[in-house]
Amino acid sequence: MSISKCIVRLNDSHDTEHSVVVYAESLYEAVVRGLNQLGDVGWESDSGETIKEVEVEIHQEPTKHVVDVPKLLKWVQQNSMYPGQETRKEKLRKLLGRR
C-alpha cells in the first residue's frame, strides 16, 4: 500500500476548524495520526467534548505512464488465459469499437 498525503480536519464546539497534514497508508491511520498531531499542537476542548467526526482529504501523487499504442492494440486483441484480464480486455475492445 502506498503512503498518501492527507489533511485531517475537525470542528470544535465553537465551530472553529482545526486541520493538520499527515502521511498515512490508510484512512484510519490518517485519522489516528491526525488526532495525535492535533493533540500534540495543543488542540483541546474547553467543554470536555468528545470528537465525533473528522474529515480526511487524501492527496495522491500523480503517476505518469508512456504507452506504446501499437503494442497496446496488439495486446488487447490477443486472448488471455486469465478470466480477470480477459474481462478487462473485452471492455477495452468495446471501447475501441466506438472509435
- Read off the pLDDT of residues 15-54 as tens digits, 9 standing for 90 and up: 888 999 999 999 999 999 999 998 887 666 666 667 778 8
Residues 9 and 31 grouped into a single domain: yes
Strands (E), the chain: 4-11, 17-24, 55-59
φ, ψ (nearest 5 deg) of residue 18: -120, 135
> What would the mean pLDDT of 49-68 be, rounded to a whole number?
84
Q: Which of 40, 48, 36 is nearest to 12 (CA)?
A: 48
**How far is Cα 11 from Cα 82, in angstroms, rounded to an integer?**
49
Residues 55 and 26 in one domain: yes
* pTM as predicted: 0.59
- Co-location of 54 and 83 in the same domain: no
Number of domains in the chain: 2
Q: Which amino acid is at 17?
A: E
Residues 11, 48, single domain; the answer is yes
Phi, psi of 24 (to 5 degrees): -150, 160
Domain region containing 28: 4-59
